[in-house]
Amino acid sequence: MPTSQPNTLGELRASGYQARSVKDEMRENLIKKIRAGEELFPGVIGYEETVIPQIENAILSGQDIVLLGERGQAKTRIARSLVNLLDEAIPVIAGSEINDDPFTPISAYGKQIVAEQGDATRIEWMARDRRYGEKLATPDITIADLIGEVDPIKVAEGRYLSDELTIHYGMVPRTHRGIFCLNELPDLAERIQVGLLNIMEERDVQIRGYKVRLPLDVYVVASANPEDYTNRGRIITPLKDRMGSEIRTHYPRTIEQEISIMESESTPTVMDGIEVTYPQFMKEIVAEITHQARNSGDISQRSGVSVRVSISNYENVASNAVRRALRLKERQAVPRVSDLPAVVASTAGKIEMDTLGDVREDKIITKLINQSVVAVFARYFDTSDFEQLVAGFERGLNVQVADSQSSMEYVNQLARVGGLSKAVDKLEARGNPATIASAVEFILEGLHLNRRLNKDTRNGATRYRRDR
């Protein structure tokens, strides 16, 4: 911290510093951000009109919050971003394990130091990022983890068990004057929930029979799956009643939002000498796969389908295109429909099947891919747009595509297939052979899935034709 900051309690008092509760601090800083038009949760997309206003209301009301939603709905990111509503730094008593306020210490150590040293008490400045604590709730969590435990080493040093200085504090006291996030709250054992309630509501807790009074100042954020949170017996009613606002998160509601998340969160495929271009229609297909999965009866919707599916799929499809460009010694890598099978590996481990019998994951994912291609094709075209093209296939025309086929081979086929050029222009795929190849594959596969063309696949190559 700058040397101009007070270093003792006396200097702090002389500076006119006024301590605030965490909730007052967050409220006042939120008001400043709203007035300045600043973004509260950078990188969180699709919550501008739904989730974020509810969070702002809760903070303005001084309420703890529980975020209800399936996995991959930015609950933890939101909780961590709340740190930005804290002051840049606050003064604490030097050496305090629980960030004691120099003006009103709550620990035995803090009280003792101030009583002995008075205005000479040394203080430190704690940055906002150190004022955040987070714990994933699991059935094996103990009171010691969250609240504290008697430290046998301190007892061995000669202190009595009844001495508060023998306590090794847990995560919640160590987040005093900060934000504590408890993920998957219903997974916390009932007796631990009771201990958490006591520390939040009654401000006291018993550790090994010794009652400790801890008037903690903590802003609590919890997350939970809606089904678990509302399931009787998974969470004690008094603790649920203690949470001020229940805020329901959700998955991206539009393809555009899903694409924005994919683009902002994915790791770019960077390769010297290769330029990666992702056509808009391919982005839409990848995003649509996730949306189709969220509405699929074959997939468990209880656990949800995370946006991480979209992000991983987006990366894998691009990587497959880069791998092909390397193999064919091309400088342009553009994802094609034939790259979509790469999403099987990045999807399978992130979804849970909800089907009877022995149904293979790859078949369900292939079904999702086909449904997505059909849905995106319908946004761009009507099958009647391709009467000239289909007529050419009826006269004996056939087109072969393959993952191993160079982009120029697609361009050469385009020149001899009537009715295809305008469709490629509609996809804005002119510019280089690789984007043309991607557009050609998309159009042909779309016509096949709409039952206007037949398809034969053999040894990694696909031939589109029309039975006469």
pLDDT digits (tens, 9 = 90+) for 439-467: 999 999 999 999 999 999 888 788 888 87
User: What is the Cα–Cα distance from 331 to 348, expressed in whole angstroms?
Assistant: 31
Q: Where are the alpha helices (DSSP H) in 355-417?
A: 361-380, 387-394, 407-416
Structure tokens at 396: 């004996």
What is the average pLDDT across 219-232? 84
Domains, the chain, with CATH or none: 9-248 (3.40.50.300), 255-465 (no CATH)
Per-residue pLDDT band for 49 (boundaries 50, 70, 90) equals very high
Per-residue pLDDT band for 381 (boundaries 50, 70, 90) equals very high
CA atoms within 13 A on the CB side of 150: 15
CA-based nearest residue to 175, from 61, 62, 90: 90
DSSP letter (8 states) at residue 274: B
Q: What is the pLDDT of residue 1?
A: 43
Q: Per-residue pLDDT tens for 232-289? A: 567 888 888 888 899 999 999 999 999 999 999 998 877 788 999 999 999 999 999 9
Least confident of 176-180, 244-248, 395-399: 395-399
Q: How many CB atoms lie within 10 A of CB 334?
A: 28
Q: Please name the residue that has the structure tokens 């096949």.
A: 448
Whether 207 has a pLDDT exceeding 70, the answer reads no
Q: What pTM was computed for the model?
A: 0.86
Per-residue pLDDT band for 13 (boundaries 50, 70, 90) equals very high
Q: How many CB atoms lie within 10 A of CB 171?
A: 16
